[in-house]
A = this chain, B = another copy of it.
């Protein structure tokens, strides 16, 4: 597995339209987000690795696969990159305890409600060492689905899982034509 690099810089595949911290410190602004472009002028670079499933069961995966669409759809000209860090308390929990909180907060069911409009890809960074976040989640959608995306975030953030979120930044993007 190779880490994907997301860099805020003067040029890139996506134009940054807003950066909003919803927990903890924000990230500096920049004109664009460059994915694996290694720009020399990066204001910041976040790294993450697409990894194996951590909570999803085989049955749940079947439910997701039946409805989800991949990233890169032509109509999906809007995106969000949402880096999240969770507390030491979260990471000290056993697997079943974390899974129970994840399910009680409705994380799986809420995500399913927004398929296939919202495409999603998760990158892990906690084990990389030196990264300021634990996960980077990439979302892609058509402009007419951005309000639904906002509603999804409100629902997710209301769950008990978010009590363990110590830092979260919402970076909105528009694809460079």
Contact = CB atoms under 8 A, between A and B. Distances in A.
A75 interface: no
A154 to B, nearest CB: 27
Nearest to A54: B95
B95 A51 contact: no
Given A57-B96, A60-B94, A126 B51 contact: yes
B129 A52 contact: no
Contacts of A57: 94-97
Nearest to A99: B95
A130 B127 CA distance: 13
A147 interface: no
A52 B134 CA distance: 12
A55 interface: yes
B94 A53 contact: yes
B126 A1 contact: yes
A129 B58 CA distance: 26
